[in-house]
Amino acid sequence: MRMMAFDVEKIRGDFPILARKINGKPLAYLDNAATTQKPLAVLEAMRDYYENSNANAHRGGNALAEEATEIYENARKRLARFIGAAPSEIVFTRNATEALNLAARFCAGQLGAKKILLTEMEHHSNIVNWQLAAKSAGASIDYVRMRSYGKLCRSDFEERLAKGPDAFSFTHASNVLGTVNDADALCRLARKAGALSVVDGAQSVPHMKVDMHSVGCDFFAFSAHKMLGPTGLGVLYVRKGLADRLEPIFGGGGAIESVMLSGTAFARAPQKFEPGTQDVAGAVGLAAAIDCLEKTGMGAIEKHVAALHGACVDGLKEAGSVEIYGNGRKTGIVSFNVGRLHAHDIAQIASDDGVMLRAGHHCCQPLMAALGAPATARASFYLYNTEEEAQRLVASVKRAKKVLS
């Protein structure tokens, strides 16, 4: 049953791209875990900024620069409110990957982490960053194992945590399985064990209400483009006590208090972590995206997405010989394989029908190895998707079965 307030047709009207045709078929965009579409409100807010207020934020005392600074900082405040953080805890980056790289370098560098604990469930962007940071710091990495049905193994986590890692990093929600890890509990246990905690929230923040204080982590990363915002902007939350202590990794203009030839006094957080001209328009777009999400309601979005997930899973099961991995109800991810067909062929045939899926290892080779599948096809839903689109996916899967076997 759909909530009164949730009018998917009205929502779709705000996304011009959804009226597009692909191969002569109406576009069914089911690749939202990769990136989401942008509503007019986001595009207009960014355009309005460039048309009317563009200047270099945090530079110069002219009236326009001050206006741009205010707009930029208001966007930071808007975001801080959305995730229950203080504005000074929000660092803007290029994307979630850069945010996770920074977090890894802070931990293995200045914070002296020598033993790092990750999980098998991670996206490559939360493995490779640690491997690089660990290599230059001479740190070691251990991995929490995953059950073949796609959940972290609790006893394995506790065993490895008992070995005393200095930092623990994990994905809040899997981009392959949609499985949601209990971030609050994991961070609490890590803290109790004396480990820093770093959360990859790229797949969780777009889909559920996430509050930094209840998560209780030291670092938290996500990106704007997976939650209706523009590409090119990521976020690193840095807990206040740490943000004050840490020195920036990249230096440059705007991040300083004063520069002498003998050394530099850095600005306060978060400015000290944001050297160089910032993506003000991107921040404006993200703030507008948050407005859109909250207008619809995170709870309502979660419900709608869960209903689509359910319809999709039911349809695929009915189609027969479909294996579904994990349980991506909350984040709307359905990762699957069909008999012995290759995921690439499924995605290609669906694409020919106008249905956009992703096929492959989803930048998660260790996770795929744990699943025992080299590739899966993945559908991922968001607030503007419809049950009809889920049915079209099922129809494409049936067609693929017919064509290929």
Question: What are the tokens at 395?
Answer: 């129809």
Biggest CA–CA distance in the chain, Å, is 72
Size of the site for other proteins (CB under 8 A): 19
At residue 343's C-alpha, the angle toward residues 342 and 346, to 5°, is 95
Q: Which is nearer to other proteins, 52 or 365 (CB)?
A: 365
Residue 359 C-beta: closest distance to other proteins, Å: 6
What one-character-per-residue DSSP string does 204-251 give?
TTTTS---HHHHT-SEEEEEGGGGTS-TT-EEEEE-HHHHHHPPPSS-
- Give, as ranges, the residues between 338 and 397 that touch other proteins (CB under 8 A): 342-345, 348-349, 351-352, 359-361, 365, 368, 374-375
**At what angle are helices 128-137 and 96-108 packed, to 10 degrees?**
30
Residue 67 touching other proteins (CB under 8 A): no
Instruction: Kindly write out the interface string for residues 5-44 of this chain, putting x where it contacts other proteins by CB under 8 A and - elsewhere.
Output: ------------------x---------------------
Q: Which is nearer to other proteins, 152 or 400 (CB)?
A: 400
The residue among 378, 369, 375 whose CA lies nearest residue 397 is 378
12: left (phi over 0), alpha (psi -120 to 50) or beta: alpha
Q: Which is nearer to other proteins, 265 or 369 (CB)?
A: 369
Catalytic option among 107, 217, 312, 363: 363
Residue 120 C-beta: closest distance to other proteins, Å: 17
Residue 340 C-beta: closest distance to other proteins, Å: 9
The Cα–Cα gap between 68 and 246 comes to 27
363 labelled catalytic:
yes
Q: Which is nearer to other proteins, 3 or 369 (CB)?
A: 369
DSSP run (H or E) holding 190: helix 183-192
The residue among 397, 382, 329, 291 whose CA lies nearest residue 18 is 382
Q: Which is nearer to other proteins, 52 or 405 (CB)?
A: 405
Q: Which is nearer to other proteins, 348 or 391 (CB)?
A: 348
One-letter amino acid at 218 equals: D
Binds other proteins (CB under 8 A): choice among 140, 214, 277, 405: 405
Instruction: Kindly write out the interface string for residues 124-163 of this chain, putting x where it contacts other proteins by CB under 8 A and - elsewhere.
Output: ----------------------------------------
Binds other proteins (CB under 8 A): choice among 55, 300, 324, 404: 404
How many alpha carbons fall within 13 Å on the CB side of residue 259? Answer: 7
* Contact present, 11 and 37 (Cβ < 8 Å): no
The residue ranges that bind other proteins (CB under 8 A) are 23, 342-345, 348-349, 351-352, 359-361, 365, 368, 374-375, 403-405
Q: Which residues are catalytic?
A: 363
